[in-house]
Amino acid sequence: MDPVAQDGAFVELPYTLHDRYFSIAIAWTIILLPPLFLNLALFYGLWYGTTLSHMIILAIPAAIFGVATIINVFFRVRKLVIRSPQYRPLNSPRWALDPFQWGYNLGIVLVTAELVSGLVVPGGPYLRVLAMAGSTLMFELAVLALISLILHATHAGSPFQLGSIPAGERVRPVIYYIVEDVVAVDGGGGIEYRKAFDARYISSVRFQKMIYWLTVKWMVGFFLIGAGVTGAVFGVKKREIAYGVGWGAPFFMAGLMVLSTVWYVKRCLRKEKNHFGTEL
């Protein structure tokens, strides 16, 4: 599970979430506002309050979702590809992006394919297909987490540079890459945070175990939530209700997982610090 046999020197991270809440909140508000609020508000307001065709009603929130996504991708990619390597993974080529962005891009492709197929296939639009975006993103992350855990457990080395980790080094659980990339880019932690995060991971067995079990938790949670929401979307009799469940429930449940994660991480970090404190 860990790349070192025992703990090394304790490495402080030059960053706390308390310093970066605002910047992270702005970045993720751009991502979450369309599906959570604009999408559902526009859908139900137009569906029951107007005589517009169903195709137009569904195309409007889909278009807003697309525009918001493009804006977020543009500004995030811009940070990664500017001449200064401040936000890029360590020793990474200018146009390589980071693992989080590649995963985000894959999610965009999957969701776009669903939205397009749900809107344009003969006999459509199909509300239940259009309601699967949130579950699809959960399944994507769960599968990526599973793959990373398998590679990590088998001590497999990455055939190419994966984020800040050079080619050939042991693959780390996917939560490692997500936290590093989100904090470094969206939170503005930059290259200094990437260096410290890597050093902290290598030096602390307890930190490694926390990342490992966080990945397991999110993998299992997203598989279960995704399966439950999918069952509800296709099991609810009224398709209008299924649409709201499909878009609202995954993000609500993910929010609960975030809260439990914050509690778990604080508990683990406190124990880790006490552990090093008793030995120093």
pLDDT digits (tens, 9 = 90+) for 115-124: 889 988 888 7
Query: pLDDT band at 109, cuts 50/70/90?
Result: very high
More confident residue, 267 or 277: 267
The answer for residues whose C-beta is within 8 angstroms of residue 8's C-beta and 6 or more apart is: 202, 203, 204
φ, ψ of residue 87 in degrees (nearest 5): -105, -10
More confident residue, 1 or 247: 247
Q: Out of 21-25, 139-143, 194-198, which region has the weakest mean confidence (pLDDT)?
A: 21-25
What global pTM score does this model have? 0.87
In angstroms, the Cα distances linking 38 to 13, 17, 34, 113, 165 are 37, 28, 5, 20, 38
> In whole angstroms, what is the distance from residue 42 CA to residue 45 CA?
5
